[in-house]
Amino acid sequence: MIPLSSQFVKIRDIRGFFFYFLQKTLTGSFKIFYTNIHYLLNHNSSEGIAVQGKTVRITFKGDYAIKSLLFLAVKYHEEGEHYFQISEISRLQDIPEKFLEQIFLLLRKAGFLKSQRGMRGGFALNRDPVEISLGEVVRLIEGTISPIACVSQSAYQACDFEPQCVLKPVWNRVRNAVSGIVDSVNFAELAADTLVRQKQKAESLMYYI
């Protein structure tokens, strides 16, 4: 079994890694930023995270893409290559089927998935889960991972205060740290972690029975 990332043991979901880093790293006035973003997520979850222009966003679309890829990665870990119908994944993962169809078309076009026609057809991973990083998927679906537009490498937006801004180096560090985390976690690790948690849950249920 592939060893789990030490970062991911502490960071349980895609929303959590960003807040975990900010909570542990930033102090003083920067905690206001963390609090505001946390408020936005809790009160407008369908929109995800949005900070000054086109910056890091974790929407339902991104969440569903990650969940469905993780489902396929777990099945790959257990059974090897296997094709699943969108309707089956939609039912098992509680994802709207029409929405999932759109997501899978995007994932297939990007090379994460492959499809097969026929009775035994459907969708399967096109790459080994160990070769698919969380960061790749987040960038594909959500765009930039930067916390603010002036430090984004793919969606840069200039700011009038940029020449004298003392915060830009901080946001650069946030961007680099978040990128480092999501780029270091692959779907083989996530699948292994999922199976461990499923086993622990089953064992705890058996204990209570």
pLDDT in 10s for each residue of the chain, 209 residues: 434 343 333 444 445 555 544 444 444 334 444 444 443 344 443 344 433 344 456 789 999 999 999 999 999 999 888 899 999 999 999 999 999 999 999 999 999 999 999 888 899 999 999 999 999 999 999 888 888 888 887 788 888 888 889 988 998 898 899 899 999 999 999 999 999 998 888 877 766 65
* Fold of the domain spanning 1-209: Arc Repressor Mutant, subunit A (1.10.10)
**Distance of alpha carbon 74 from alpha carbon 189, whole angstroms:** 10
> What's the confidence (pLDDT) of residue 151?
86
> What's the confidence (pLDDT) of residue 9?
37
**Distance of alpha carbon 40 from alpha carbon 38, whole angstroms:** 5
98 and 154 Cβ atoms separated by less than 8 Å: no
> What's the confidence (pLDDT) of residue 3?
40
> What's the confidence (pLDDT) of residue 31?
42
> What's the confidence (pLDDT) of residue 119?
81
Rg of the chain over all Cα atoms, to the nearest angstrom:
19
> Exposure string (b/e) for 136-167, b if CB count within 10 Å is 16 or more?
bbbbbbbbbbbbbbbbbeeeeeeeeeeeeeeb
